[in-house]
Structure 1
Amino acid sequence: NQLLKYREMNDITEEEQNRLIHAGAKDNAELFNLVCEEFPDRNRWSIIKFCRRKFHNFPARGKWTPEDDEDLTEAQRQMGTRWTQIGKRLNRHPEDCRDRWRNYLICGDTMVNVFWDAEEEQKLREAVARCMSYVKEMQQLGLIPYGDSEDDTELVDWQRVSVEMKRTRSRLQCRQKWKRMHEYEDRDKVDTPLKKGSASREKLARQGMQHMDLDDKLVILRSIKESQVGREGKINWKKVGDEEFQKRFAVRPLKEAYKK
């Protein structure tokens, strides 16, 4: 164990070593050099972050009382996003302070904790679509790298999605809900048997959807929003978009795009 070796070499306690781990990385380069030698194929910064998560002098993680939340809210008001300094003030791990704030407290009294209704789900689809459009623009400009996965939603800024939702839902709520929505949709696609002839119709629908760009999909979402229907079964697909839009796309490609 390289950390044990470093303690013995420098005659320090584990608590003292943990303080060094959470101090400046440049000031304690000798310590991190020793640890990084053990993992030559790993990124240096990822090793430092792992050490800071694993070795610390903070109390048990994950438990927050209302009083703790008040202290964190006040510290964030005064210190912004300087989580290391906030962690020191509250004697909490900086990552815990950051996550507690951005996943729960940032929304304040506007945060909703009841079930999502159809209108909220629609707002989430629109918010993610706008953020995805931004991601694709930045990728085309070379300002954001393409992800390793085919699902570019991994690159979505969920804090931005929360802002688009008017802070009624936190970034964590939005991300988890989006994941559940797609799990349900995928499950429905697997479990629903195809009727005779439906396979060819679905193929044609997908082909028609391939001619749509993000702006076309936003037209679909806006039209549905403006119609104020309560659920998907009440959508009048023949009235989606303007007359020119309706000439370009049949109903089935619209439904397929909406599901996606």
Structure 2
Amino acid sequence: MAPSSSSEPASHSGHAHLLANKWMGANKLAELVASEGLVYKKGKFSAIEIKQVNEAMQNYCTTRGLSEEDLNQIIFPSDEKKKDAVFWSEITSAVPLRPIVAVYQYVRRAHHPMKQQGKWQPEEDAKLIQAVTSLGQQWEKVAQLVGRMATDCRDRYRNHIVDREKRVNGAWSTAEEEELTRIVTTMQQGKNLDTDIFWGKVSEMMDGKRSRQQCRIKWTDSLSKKFKTDGATARWGTHDAFILVHKIDALGVRDDTEIDWKSIPDSQWNLFSAHTVQRRWLTMKKSIKGFEDMTHSEIMDILRVKYAEMPSYAKVSKVAKVPARSDEYIEDSDNDEPQAGSSTGPGTLVAEGGPDDDSE
């Protein structure tokens, strides 16, 4: 097996071995988190992890004289119950603290012959509806009838087909915002309002008029700030930039695609959502001339100097206070989308169903 990265803490080596050799679902992983303090990574694979996986597969083929066709047969065997345990264990060992099932799912998505087929066409939607009507939400079987990846079929059905005839697009009305706030805060029950809500259920409680994605984005990028500030307008300030730079610096990551953006906000700095924080980081990074040719370390060197001191007027509380308006404050918009990055890092739970899980 490939050796674990030397950057991983020695105390995690046992966890890495277990994760690379034992096939465990989300429930079993959660059980081990609670009973044994298991630590593992979740979310999208970082750019570095993707490189490590690809190099591990290339090395596996080279040392055994396997062709690309041989590799595809290992990844997609005729009988999915007969997985090549040696192959998957060795590849998983290249990305310590990733569960073997997560590596299995990632590799199969990345190498799937039907990936990246572009915009869905009306006739494909019709096939999808017919397949789900006949088979239910058995996505692997549905995929065979539709000709798309199982995860694509699942996400298309969840986000664009279910309640499509009821769907409302465009600006949210005041009544809709109040309804969404009432539903989310009622569902809270000790959960993190920005990350632990099941948005499929929220959409259902709004009678399907807004999709799970619409509800999640509207809450995390707009309404959650109003809720936390009792209706005050939330603006990103230089003190927030200072906090973000030093939080990222403390992570010691090799590349910003390794950052778990959901872990950045904390009890003392929780006004902005993970999505907003990620977008602000990208803005700061892109403000550096020539950032495209710099390493993450070089970018951090520049930002560490630029934000060396906390602005004297800044006071951080459980819910960030909003200073008076000035030219240096930029009103946050809930319409912007991040241009890059991912959500990856040490975690205690793995979302069931892949990147588009209902809890996202």
TM category (shorter chain) comes to 0.5 to 0.7
Q: Corresponding residue for 2:233?
A: 188
1:155 to 190, 196, 203: 196
Given that 2:92 and 2:100 are in contact with CA atoms closer than 8 Å, whether structure 1 keeps it comes out as yes
Q: Corresponding residue for 2:165?
A: 109
Structure 1 counterpart of 2:152, one-letter code: D
Question: Is the alpha carbon distance of 1:2 and 1:88 closer, same or farther for their aligned partners in structure 2, counting shifts above 3 Å?
Answer: farther
Q: Structure 2: 5+ residue runs without aligned partners?
A: 1-54, 237-360
Q: Corresponding residue for 1:67?
A: 123
Q: When you count helix as a share of all residues, which structure comes out higher? A: 1
The whole-number CA distance in structure 2 between the counterparts of 1:163 and 1:29 is 40
Residue 26 of structure 1 deviates from its aligned partner by 5.3
Is 1:42–2:98 an aligned residue pair? yes
The whole-number CA distance in structure 2 between the counterparts of 1:79 and 1:65 is 21
The whole-number CA distance in structure 2 between the counterparts of 1:190 and 1:163 is 31
Structure 1 counterpart of 2:119, one-letter code: K
The whole-number CA distance in structure 2 between the counterparts of 1:17 and 1:57 is 14
What's the Cα RMSD here?
Answer: 2.8
Q: Corresponding residue for 1:175?
A: 216
Question: Is the alpha carbon distance of 1:23 and 1:35 closer, same or farther for their aligned partners in structure 2, counting shifts above 3 Å?
Answer: farther
Residue 59 of structure 1 deviates from its aligned partner by 4.4
SS at match of 1:73: helix
Given that 1:18 and 1:57 are in contact with CA atoms closer than 8 Å, whether structure 2 keeps it comes out as no
Residue 62 of structure 1 deviates from its aligned partner by 4.5
Question: Is the alpha carbon distance of 1:78 and 1:17 closer, same or farther for their aligned partners in structure 2, counting shifts above 3 Å?
Answer: same
Residue 25 of structure 1 deviates from its aligned partner by 6.2
Structure 2 counterpart of 1:19, one-letter code: F
Residue 111 of structure 1 deviates from its aligned partner by 1.0
By relative contact order (CA 8 Å, sep 6+), the higher-ranking structure is: 2
Q: Deviations over 1:92-134 (max 9, x none)?
A: 111111111111111121111132111111111122123223x
Q: Structure 1: 5+ residue runs without aligned partners?
A: 137-145, 192-260
Q: Corresponding residue for 2:37?
A: none
Given that 2:56 and 2:94 are in contact with CA atoms closer than 8 Å, whether structure 1 keeps it comes out as yes
Is 1:84–2:125 an aligned residue pair? no
List aligned pairs for 1:1-260, cutoff 5 A: 1-7=55-61, 9=64, 10-11=66-67, 13=69, 14-20=71-77, 24=80, 27-133=83-189, 136=190, 151-182=192-223, 185=226, 188-190=233-235
The whole-number CA distance in structure 1 between the counterparts of 2:169 and 2:157 is 16
Residue 7 of structure 1 deviates from its aligned partner by 4.3
The whole-number CA distance in structure 2 between the counterparts of 1:153 and 1:189 is 16
**How many matched pairs?**
176
Residue 162 of structure 1 deviates from its aligned partner by 0.6
Given that 1:131 and 1:160 are in contact with CA atoms closer than 8 Å, whether structure 2 keeps it comes out as no
Residue 67 of structure 1 deviates from its aligned partner by 1.1
The whole-number CA distance in structure 1 between the counterparts of 2:82 and 2:214 is 37
Q: Give % identity.
A: 26
SS at match of 2:124: helix
Structure 1 counterpart of 2:129, one-letter code: T
TM-score scaled to structure 2, two decimals? 0.44
Given that 1:84 and 1:94 are in contact with CA atoms closer than 8 Å, whether structure 2 keeps it comes out as yes
Question: Is the alpha carbon distance of 1:183 and 1:123 closer, same or farther for their aligned partners in structure 2, counting shifts above 3 Å?
Answer: closer
SS at match of 1:155: coil
Residue 173 of structure 1 deviates from its aligned partner by 0.9
The whole-number CA distance in structure 2 between the counterparts of 1:41 and 1:32 is 14
Given that 1:162 and 1:170 are in contact with CA atoms closer than 8 Å, whether structure 2 keeps it comes out as yes
The whole-number CA distance in structure 2 between the counterparts of 1:35 and 1:118 is 51
Q: Corresponding residue for 2:282?
A: none
The whole-number CA distance in structure 2 between the counterparts of 1:189 and 1:152 is 17
Given that 2:163 and 2:208 are in contact with CA atoms closer than 8 Å, whether structure 1 keeps it comes out as yes
Question: Is the alpha carbon distance of 1:89 and 1:5 closer, same or farther for their aligned partners in structure 2, counting shifts above 3 Å?
Answer: farther
Residue 75 of structure 1 deviates from its aligned partner by 1.1
